[in-house]
Structure 1
């Protein structure tokens, strides 16, 4: 993919190349629409001015439209990573000792990488992505649409508190760590501080709020069984987010923390690896979404302490029970995320997630999770949705993020793990950001 070089004042609102045609016709494409179990017969899909204008038929095709002969290949919606951390890819020592500019350089590079892997949208669930989002939306940088959470909000000694052990408590005049200083994390305690934190991140432009309400794998101090934030603190966050017409997403593994978050009104559970049947039924009754990940647990990130490795193993072992319970209970509000942190090489292979999930789900279920399901999930942002419209599907009126795949991922998801070869065309916001068919002519 080449870097976009829009003329001043002509940048795409979502970071594509303004010179790309505003009408694109795919002919002879077998369409996965983001909802179905099967591909269509070869058909045409017309994109005009950033939206899907027509599926089937070729009437009213603008004379200036770029025509792409799909030749029976698969056309899918652009992928959505609903649990990303695009700014948090430096190694842990680098993050501790670098500044926001260093993180931003990583973030810009990783955003372009995401798009090259077919991810036209990410929901960033922790990190200072506000400026990166603006740079992409203005056309300054290439990358996916970003639904930003801003800093993860954590309690003292919670999943987002990386204050050095040598640093005195803030009660004794201690200072916030670099990750808080740079806007990736925010540590608060009590209802009053929680309200201030939520209002702050929403005022910065967050589309949803991210709380850590249970122990985490990547944090040394809090075992996975720990429940974080009181019910009153979580309820305050939910109320403040609701006043801004959006929602709260919650990091948590254990059933107690999940129940507390669900009963307080959180709309998504991030991870949930240690859930039990009763708690999953509670989530089902409340219409709560589950956003799990697999790739992050397959191999431990480098440089982990032994206690952290043990937590990753515990979370990994919980995946079988988690997904077996979703099947048994008919729970289908399941998203698709990665949660890759401090591992650019792993992020480069992010599409392995499609293959890892085949242990529990059919290829069609997995593709729905990464497209139609995630489109519904990000839409929970309501009036704070930075990209109003329908994402994750190919249907008239939907936002035009599509991929042309050489192969059939419903038969063999592994074709997605070689995006350089098999993602032939990438369209975001109706603009072509990669066209290997044209390059091959």
Structure 2
């Protein structure tokens, strides 16, 4: 009988996996919160199999300048053809895999006067933690069932700001990622496409899973009187949410790293130095021994991916680099000598524009706000030295705990022109950020090319009214609006809580259009 039950259970799991689902709930949420899953009245219609953009000028992510007027043909989720002369479609488009697409099924968009560019990439984000306040929601067990609905809404908002890919550096987003991936119609199997109700629009997510922290480290959100597990204590609430893992010693770090990899992490995030929002670690503190850091690097390397660490100070950065860490998050308090070390070793720097803030502007207060402003003072040196020594530079926002401020995500891009040229900024937030994503190697959940407009790359792109090479403000000029991506009237109270970037006229991710403010203007022969 027991054997028979195992067979039945195994068959059920295989069947669920065949439908693109795990044995978990179809929608991302915590146990006991399933009633918050979005209710969708009608299945989504399949997107057109092809989209032809006419007469766009292209910023390709790599070249300092725009192309002349060009046609761009997207087939399914890839850029199929780019041509300086008008693309003439045959009545039947034959693909390499033997499929055929009728010309009449190809949507045409008149891009005259618009710039096509790659979708934006944010390489340091925390979707769940940016969508929820720290004390009233994230660390409040009574608010647990609101965390995922808030994150789901923020994921849609991120996409509507033009960010088509993000690297999530701490938080329980594996299920949310899977839910979003079910929206990418052309990346699904035929069987998976039969159940289009189960979807949430959002960016591609490169998840880290729970951040890994030592006791007393930047990921330790336990109560002051809580005892470590080794001394008979239990998990903190943040650990129960899988927002963080407390791991001490080589063996525990190995287990924590492997646990995140087992769940689907594309890279591993450790806390290697003092932090701003945490209560127990001053900024000068160095976290994790060389042996502990090396344990994470060894485990990640065995899976073909890399370790990135949160750290601000010189000693922590040097220890991490010597242990084989491939990316430094923040680094605002490092010296010029340490920046030279990053350049010499080819280590990535994922930098943020941190600014001085008052208590009314910040999500933090007291000593945490003091630490925040101390870090912000290092922003200028960080970017100046990174450029001076040609360090592998990536960029992210690291917005946290202020869901009413996430609409400012795009506004940090124009601020980069203080240290970088407009071209360098655009290349940074597209092509360069994509190179760091690709460092995940075989753990890359989206192995196609991102961050560029070129034949064969993923069709993650924007049509911009204006030239961002001349004016970066076109990437950050926003208005607040009701999202066009709501599932039904019950999901919104009709308050303008979603950001709409005024100059983004088309937003496409994975070959699917999520925003189109350009009216169709097509003649019978397919030419515009």
Query: TM-score under structure 2 normalisation?
Result: 0.78
1:17 and 1:431 in contact (8 A); partners too: no
- Which residue of structure 2 aligns with residue 157 of structure 1? 216
Alignment pair present for 1:438 and 2:481: no
Distance 1:267 1:298, change over 3 A: farther
Residue 295 of structure 1 and its aligned partner are, at CA, apart by: 5.3
Is 1:308 equivalent to 2:368 in the alignment?
yes
Aligned pair in 2 of structure 1 residues 95, 297: CA closer, same or farther (>3 Å)?
farther
Residues 244 and 384, structure 1, Cα contact 8 Å, conserved in 2 = yes
Deviation (angstroms), 1:50:
0.6
Q: For residues 226-248 of structure 1, give each alpha carbon's deviation from its aligned partner in whole angstroms, at most 9, with x where no partner exists.
A: 11000111111001000011110
Checking the alignment, whether the CA contact within 8 Å between 1:10 and 1:18 is kept in structure 2 is no
Unmatched 5+ stretches in structure 1? 1-8
Residues 267-313 of structure 1: CA distance to partner in whole angstroms, max 9, x if unpaired?
A: 11111111222211211122111111115766666452311111111
Residue range with higher mean Cα deviation, 393-402 or 352-361? 352-361
Alpha-carbon separation, structure 1, partners of 2:332 and 2:272: 14
Q: Tell whether the 8 Å contact from 2:126 to 2:400 is kept in structure 1 after alignment.
A: yes
Q: Kindly report which structure 2 residues correspond to 1:24-423, keeping only aligned pairs within 5 A, or say none.
A: 24-56=51-83, 57-59=85-87, 61=89, 62=93, 63=103, 64-88=105-129, 89-93=131-135, 94-98=137-141, 100-139=144-183, 140-294=199-353, 302-331=362-391, 333-417=392-476, 418=478, 419-423=500-504
Contact residue 25 and residue 66 of structure 1 kept, 8 A:
yes
What is the CA–CA distance in structure 1 between the aligned matches of 2:508 and 2:218, rounded to whole Å?
37
Do 2:218 and 2:278's aligned partners in 1 also have CA atoms closer than 8 Å? yes
Residue aligning to 2:509: 428
Instruction: Supply the distance in 1 between the matched residues of 2:404 and 2:63 (Cα, whole angstroms).
Output: 32
Describe the SS at the equivalent of 1:434.
strand
CA distance in structure 1 between the aligned counterparts of 2:133 and 2:501, rounded to whole angstroms: 26
CA distance in 2 between partners of 1:168 and 1:409 (Å): 53
SS at match of 2:60: coil
Q: Summarize deviations over 1:182-226 as a string: whole Å, max 9, x none.
A: 101001100000000000000011111000101111112211111
CA positional deviation for 1:431? 0.8
Q: What is the deviation of 1:166?
A: 2.8
Give the RMSD, CA atoms, in angstroms. Answer: 2.1
Is the contact made by 2:461 and 2:507 (CA closer than 8 Å) also made in structure 1? yes
- Is the contact made by 2:120 and 2:451 (CA closer than 8 Å) also made in structure 1? yes
Q: Is the 8 A contact 2:354 2:379 kept in 1?
A: no
Runs of 4+ in 1 over 3 A off after TM superposition: 57-62, 98-101, 295-303, 438-441
From the superposition, tell whether residues 217 and 76 of structure 1 become closer, same or farther in structure 2 (CA, over 3 Å). Answer: same
SS at match of 1:350: helix
Deviation for aligned residue 1:172: 3.2
Once the two structures are TM-superposed, the CA of residue 262 in structure 1 deviates from its matched residue by: 1.1
Q: CA deviation at 1:46?
A: 1.2
Q: Which has the larger radius of gyration?
A: 2
Distance in 2 of aligned mates of 1:436 and 1:296: 34
Is contact 2:60-2:454 (8 Å) kept? yes
Aligned residue for 2:146, secondary structure, equals helix
Aligned mates of 1:10, 1:437 — CA distance in 2: 34
Preserved CA contact (<8 Å) 2:174 2:209: yes
SS of the residue 2:401 aligns to: coil
* SS at 2:449 equivalent: coil
SS at match of 1:194: helix
Give the stretch that moved more between structures: 273-282 or 245-254. 273-282
2:349, 2:394 within 8 Å by CA — same for their partners in 1?
yes
Cα separation, 2, equivalents of 1:362 and 1:17:
42
8 Å CA contact retained: 1:209, 1:247: yes
Question: What's 1:4 paired with?
Answer: none
Question: Per the alignment, in what secondary structure is the counterpart of residue 347 of structure 1?
Answer: helix
Q: TM-score, normalised by structure 1?
A: 0.93
Aligned length: 428
C-alpha separation between the residues in 2 aligned to 1:205 and 1:313? 35
CA shift, 1:411, in A, is: 1.1
Structure-2 separation of matches of 1:152 and 1:228 = 13
